[in-house]
Chain A
Amino acid sequence: MRGMAHGGWLSLAPWRRGPLLLLRRPSVAVAIAVAVAVAVLPAAAGPVFLSSAGSATLRARTSSVCPAALGSQVVAPERPVDPAVLATAVTQEAQAAAEGLGDPAVTLVSAAVAVGDNRVNIAGRNGFEAHVQRIAGGPGHGLWLPDRFAAEHGLRPGDTVTISPNVEEWSADNVRRVWAPTAVPVVAIYRDLRDRSGDDPFWCGISTLYRGDPAQQAGGLGSDVPVLDLLLADRASMLAIASGAHVQTAQRIERAPATIDLTAPEATRLAAGITTMHERLRTTGYDGRILYRTALPPLAGRAALVERELRGTVLPISAGGLLVGLAVVMAAGAFWVRRRERELVVLATFGATAPWLGVKAALEALPALTAGAVGGWSLAWLLVARVGPSSDVSGAALVQSLIAAGSAFLLAAAVLGVTAALACRPLTGAPAPKARVRRRLAVAPWELLLLAAAAGYWSTGGDRSMVRLGSQYGTMVQLPGKLLVVPMLAMLCLCVLGARLATAAVRRWTRSTTVARSAVRLLYRRRLRHSAAAAVTLALITALPVAVAGYGATATRTVSATLAAQARLGAGSDVVITLAEPGAIPATLAGRATPVLRVDYVQLDDRQVSLLAVDPVTFADVAFWDDRLDDTTLAEATRALRAPAKGAIASAPVPDGTATMTFGADPPVDLEVTSLSTLPAPRGGYPVLLVDRAAVGQEVLVRAVPQLWVRGDPDPIRAAVDAAGLRVASFSVADDRLAGTFYQPVTYTFAYLSALSLLTATVAMVGFLLYLESRLRVLRRGYAMLRLMGLRSAVQGWLLLAELAGSLVAGCAAGLGLAVTAAVAVRDQLNVDPAAPPGTVLSFPWPVMAGLLTAVGCFAVLVAVVTHWRLTRSRTSEVLRDID
């Protein structure tokens, strides 16, 4: 027997020229490229999504932390070392151990210094002059006074203030040394930092010097500790005050990260570097009373925890997506064989075996595979950047993503080759499986196994709605697998079962012997009967991704809506502004803001409540409310406040009826209380009591914290408040309550599912195109034959549209129905925090669903029009001679 020429099959033209051959069949190339993109996308998206989630978690936490606190803070309370020496040491160690820190900010602080009859804080921070608003005076050595302090004491630049020493020194014979107060000149007046609504990040590291300690104030304990004024001084003046005036002076050396846009691995590395730097400083002699601080390690640890724990849900989703993609690649492989059958038979007659034909398939598909892999990876990156939690992704995640994409690419190439080889076996004379076995496999209702698996998973998956994981970095909520696995399995089962039943129904319907009213109807029925399995399969591959997309979007919206409702109910409204002093509602916020006076320690009979004295006219329009709470609207509920009798509304467990409110020196007030299950803005677990602000006593008016509750976007609201010159103590945004909480990863997971929606839509599109391409030859012949028989082209166009759009739209509608059913079935499980009112807010993305249905319909019409146009361009004579 003669042997093949040197080089084997790969050296022959059909293999050697393989990578260029598929370009002659762009539809097959496009189908393969998209199929591979579908497989690569989820594989590549997994690592970048996890990194994105870690970055978002970190960002959510770091955005509310002073950059200086994120970096290194070295605090020497009472000058145990020379400031210059310590600063140099910190710089050296930072360079050695903690790359990624910014320039040092050195601050000398003298706390609670007696200036005349007052106590103040004095600080000297390099470069402070550029970060204050100078009102009077100019540069020079001396003190900068806040305007309020200066006005209160009648001080101007050029005046002097007297600083009393606070350093205690004892002589050798145990006699306390006494120094005389020192006069320090005033060189400038600046606008009090407390009168600015937003803090300049420059000051945040030492904001406690002029705002007090928020921890003390919030806790109530120590809230009577006065917040001192902050006097500023240049470094030379500070050193002179410390030594000449004998004032205790601490030194703070802060090095914020060079950038706070850190990814989780970068943060972990920087945190480790800072820790090492502090250790080295300690061991090189700078220990004792020196404090070393950084807030970064726990935040970085938490981001890493989120990244790690999300793997449990993200990777299975990615694997599922990859499997779906590979299934499409298998279809593409079989499709390739059908389209290349003529050539394959020729090669098979020359002895090419099925494996070599599979290799040829992979070679031919190589450009399409490569384009698809690049497209899939790009799409993954784009998806995460656009709809992911954050666009910041670590370099390591990118590398992992590339490796995953490369692996998926190789896997797809292998699957395509193997599928093609298997599909080629009949062409090469290989024995086919026994028909009886195939028939039995085809009729076995194996999809019911999926339903059984779903039921089993549900019953063994526990009844907790969300799994909370504990660690040294806190708790987080992980999406239970059953909320992903069970609906997916159930929907897959119902889709396949539905397809099986629909195929039988279509065949039964089209078998009907009743005479069709028109030739078109007859043709439609005949075509449908002939391709019942294909039509139902098309509907199935449309229904399944639409169901997944619909379920994912519904779950995303429901979890988000529930969390948002809980956050708004907890905060009171979209934005709650606590004012340092009462102020009027800015004109630009009229109609969406309401004034509230809040007192948290009011007695109602023998019960402590949080009192909210509100404007009954505007409160209901602004405060958050969900009508499912107590089956009433807030407007209806607050109508009781306007009654002539002193009405009040209280949240449970305060009962209905008359109750007496007492507060401080105000006379007791009898109130007619209407009880509701919950009210906005509870605090500390105490019931909330709503009353008309016009009805409260004088002491409440004096001691209450004035607030403005506003609905709308925070940024314009902040601008309006600044423009109105209101003095803001705090600016609380309801959505910020979600940021950085342990609930956050759940929304990340569903965001990933939303990204999967795009993937599944692509699957449907590819399936549809594959189906159409495989039928094009038949459609061409049918078109030519019917034209010869006199059936008009337009009629055939409508027939084609009905045939294509029917399957697609039916599949889409069925998918949406399944999505709604699945979401309703697991609605109680979609509440991250079941204990918090108002319960699950089931939110269907109707616009998205309508858009999806419209898009599918438009796509079907477009494809039908294009296909019909292609059919009309066929030459009847050539088609009937099968010259293709």
Chain B
Amino acid sequence: MNLRECLRIGWRSITSHKLRSTLTTLGVILGVAAVITFMVLGGGFSQSVVGEIEAEQEPVMTVHTQTDPPDGFGVMLVDTPIYTESDVEALEELEGVEWVAPEGSIGLAQTEYDDERVTGVVEGQATTPDRFEHDEFVDGEPFDWADEAVVSERVNDAFEGNLSAGEELTVTFEDGEERTVTVAGVVDDDLGGQSPPLVYLPVDEHHETTIETPDGDREPVYQSLVVGVESLGDVDPAQDAVTDYLAEESDASELKEDDDEIAVQTIEDAVEQFDDLVGQLTAFIGAVAAIALVVGSIGIANIMIVSVTERTREIGIMKAVGARRRDVMQLFLVESVILGLIGAVVGVLVGLGVGYLGVTLLEWPMVYPIDWIVIAIVVGVGVGVGSGLYPAWRGARVDPIEALRHE
């Protein structure tokens, strides 16, 4: 029996039970749609964060402390300051390292701009002008003296304003001290909208956190470091050198908690780590969604068994007019494959639709997870074959004499 005829007959029998067929495929539709939706959302999230970064490769790396979170998923940043001034100086001496900019957080109670005050939203960070070497300035330039500040573009969101170089900003520190600074520049260092609004202040003037080093001295200490490298070609050896130093000789290695880990990352590393995290998350959610697929395939198997029983007499007639076992088998298999395939295709469309809606609302870019779409279709066909196999086999070995006696 040729496939076209088989498809036609199978399609006819599916459409003659519209409600039943719809409900049967619903399981597969939901499963596939859920998987595709999560893949679109995951991909969109990833793209929104990573997309702009990948374009610009810079000879910069960051040094921060991280640890495994208690729930064991992804990584967690540790903000205990452990990088001492001696570490900064030692790192600057390493081969290939051009500069080292420390980052220390400053508690800001309030920030005031243009008669508007916000409390707690804007964070302060003490650093050196070097830190901005590879950043893009929307306006102005890095600060170079005590009463200047650089603000991140997102500070605009906090004030719903449009800060530009030369304007004044009043910051209130946690100890109550007030300070008016001039905005030297507005920097675009936002990684996909993930960082908070930041006011960068000169480290010499504003950083006061110190610690007793293992040598017994008292030194300023920082939460993280930004390391500038001479050229892109020096990044790899410099990364190794920095990692080695921090792991073996630094004060930081002595000051850190045992479970904490000092991470030296280039932007690429950070992107990779982030992608990994998002990938793990989407795969996990996808796996949950895949359970719906299993349920869907059981639904198809169930309905096909019912269908075989219902059509026992029809099978008898077909055998009486010359259908071979494989013809009958093919007929039922084609029917269940059509159901699975329709489920997968509709599921992909629904998934893309819901995903599109989601990324549009969240203002992430739309991503078409081609590989997952292909997987979904293959799985749909597989579900059809898998769940149709047993019913089709049962149909094929129906005894025509029994079947023709069957009412």
| A and B co-occur in one complex | no
